[in-house]
Copies of this chain bind each other. A is one copy, B any other.
Amino acid sequence: MFRFNKDMEYALISLVEMSRQKEFQLLSARELSQRYAIPFKLLARILQKLSTDGLIKSVKGPMGGYRLNEQPENIRVSRILMAVRGEERIADCMSPGGDCAQDKIGCIIKPLIQVFQDKWVSFVENTTLDEFTGSNGNG
């Protein structure tokens, strides 16, 4: 609960790495997979999602690979989440029209859940990739 999963971790690693490439220089799934010991096919699938979204650009064939399609300062964490995981809420009842079983008497914790949801959305909307690419703490 409330944990980054591997897909997001791999997506973030890939995007940060790409942001460090020289402009228009491509980075292949194979290269990333080996550099970070990430299962190749798994990583490829994630990169394809980022590509479908338009966050990154893909080039097929030998010498192909991926590169960022946006400036890091324009890449919001919310967009990465959307590309990799699709639309997601912190609880089912936060979906449009969604609700839990206690609708008759009114759910007593919905306001609480809503506060979490709003804060979360605000956070991922206001956090961009470039905030992290500069400082490379070891660890």
Contacts and interface: CB of A to CB of B under 8 A. Distances in A.
A56 interface: no
Contact of A108 (B2, B3, B109, B136): B136
Given A108-B13, A136-B111, A139-B106, A3 B4 contact: no
A1 B8 contact: yes
A47 to B, nearest CB: 16
Contact of A110 (B85, B90, B99, B139): B139
B139 A3 contact: no
A87 interface: no
Contacts of A4: 1, 90-91, 113, 116
Interface in A77-94: 85, 88-91, 93
Contacts of A136: 106, 108, 111
Contacts of A113: 4
Contacts of A40: none
Nearest to A93: B139
A17 interface: yes
